[in-house]
Amino acid sequence: MSIKELGEFGLIARIKGQFPVPEGVTGIGDDCAVLPQHDGLRTLVSTDMLVEGTHFLLGDISPYRLGWKSAAVNISDIAAMGGKPVATFLSLALPPAGNVDSEWMDEFIRGYRDVSDRYGVALLGGDTTSSQVGLCINVTVLGEAAPDRIKTRDSARVGDLVCVTGTLGDSGAGLRIILDRAASGNAADAHTSSDRVLETLVARHYEPVPCVRQGLLLGACQGVHAMMDISDGIASDLRHIMKASGVGAEIDVNALPLSSELKAYCECNRLDTSDFALASGEDYQLLFTLDPAVHADASLRPDTAYTVIGRITAGDSIVWKNASRDFSGFRHF
Ligand code: ADP
Ligand code: MG
């Protein structure tokens, strides 16, 4: 069978099956691995790779933004578990020629450092080598959390509310603007929205802000059950929670939180906001399930803003309420 036929998640399952997980450890299958520390806390670990041509085009993204994004998407995986990010390791495979010179590298590191500084995250190591194909960036992030504050994908319960932080779809719209500009050779903007709207959406794609503060506050709330970050879009990511927890879900498309910029952009260009909000990725907001009794009680509710978009049901499928088309067959890969 080809790797394509096997699929990303089929391949991961195949690898996972061959490595028994040590006692007291959470391994493959969530946003982070969880390991015990001697002081009773848990260490959270995650790693992500960004590959030229697959995740970014060197000519399109500034080095500052690529540095920012490389650190931000990893820090987001710690936030997704309710943890505090502590340190990263940065490995680079650099192409021999081309745009990547010392000035480029300085700008990359400046972006990487700005988002790391914002959350007090140290860079503690990495590896540097050459690449014959293109730039490859691998980041490993370490975080920590008290065991009773860690939120995993497998803890959703029937009757829970499905909730998200922030707004959905902005990053996907930003990517569309970037790709359209690249296709037209940056000659003219095919889009009719204001520059402010376009640049806001592009920035949401290139400089995602990891929800660290929100993740810690949600982690501290016992009524928050399952949680993950939104990297592939909720139509895909919610399935991870459903599968891990053995539940279904019902989502009200009219309840999805949308930014004024996404609404303006979609209105101008006659696009459907729910295509972006449900099926495009890289928003890096948090998706979580919440005990409805906790949501109803202002003194117990999580101390951060969120939007209720649906609820967890028995079964194993998603029902989309008020959808303009059927999103149930959506697959990211
Ligand atoms: P995320 O989107 O949160 O970064 P992924 O979907 O990339 O998570 O990965 C899902 C799970 O599979 C994670 O636990 C990750 O560590 C694990 N994983 C992904 N690729 C591999 C691999 N090649 N070997 C072992 N584990 C992997
Ligand atoms: Mg994740």
Return per-residue pLDDT of the chain as tens, 333 residues. Answer: 888 888 988 999 999 999 999 999 999 999 999 999 999 999 999 999 999 998 888 888 999 999 999 999 999 999 999 999 999 999 999 998 777 899 999 999 999 999 999 999 999 999 999 999 899 999 999 999 999 999 999 999 999 999 999 999 999 999 999 988 888 876 555 566 789 999 999 999 999 999 999 999 999 999 999 999 999 999 999 999 999 999 999 999 999 999 999 999 999 999 999 999 999 889 999 999 999 999 999 999 999 999 999 999 999 999 999 987 776 544 434
What's residue 47's pLDDT?
98
Q: Which residues surround ligand 2, an ion (CB under 5 A)?
A: 31, 77, 229
Strands (E), the chain: 33-36, 42-51, 84-94, 122-130, 136-145, 161-164, 224-229, 248-252, 286-290, 307-313, 318-321
What's residue 161's pLDDT?
98
Which residue out of 9, 12, 21 has the highest number of ligand 1 atoms within 8 Å of its CB and is therefore the one to mutate?
Answer: 12
271: its two tokens: 């696009």
87: its two tokens: 């340190």
Ligand 1 atom with the smallest distance to the CA of 229 is: 3
Residue 37, C-beta contacts closer than 8 angstroms, at least 6 positions apart: 43, 144
Residue nearest to atom 15 of ligand 1 (CA): 28
What's residue 194's pLDDT?
87
What's residue 57's pLDDT?
86
Ligand 1 atom with the smallest distance to the CA of 27 is: 14
Residues 133 and 115: their CA atoms lie apart, in Å, by 28
- Residue 133: Cβ within 10 Å count: 10
What's residue 160's pLDDT?
98
Residues 306 and 319: their CA atoms lie apart, in Å, by 21
What's residue 193's pLDDT?
76
Cβ-contact 68, 114 below 8 angstroms? yes
pTM for this predicted structure: 0.93
What separation in Å is there between the alpha carbon of 13 and the centre of ligand 1?
Answer: 10
What's residue 189's pLDDT?
58
What separation in Å is there between the alpha carbon of 28 and the centre of ligand 1?
Answer: 6
What separation in Å is there between the alpha carbon of 102 and the centre of ligand 1?
Answer: 32
Residues 264 and 273: their CA atoms lie apart, in Å, by 10
Cβ-contact 258, 169 below 8 angstroms? yes
Instruction: Enumerate residues lining ligand 1, CB below 6 A.
Output: 12, 15, 28-31, 48, 77, 231
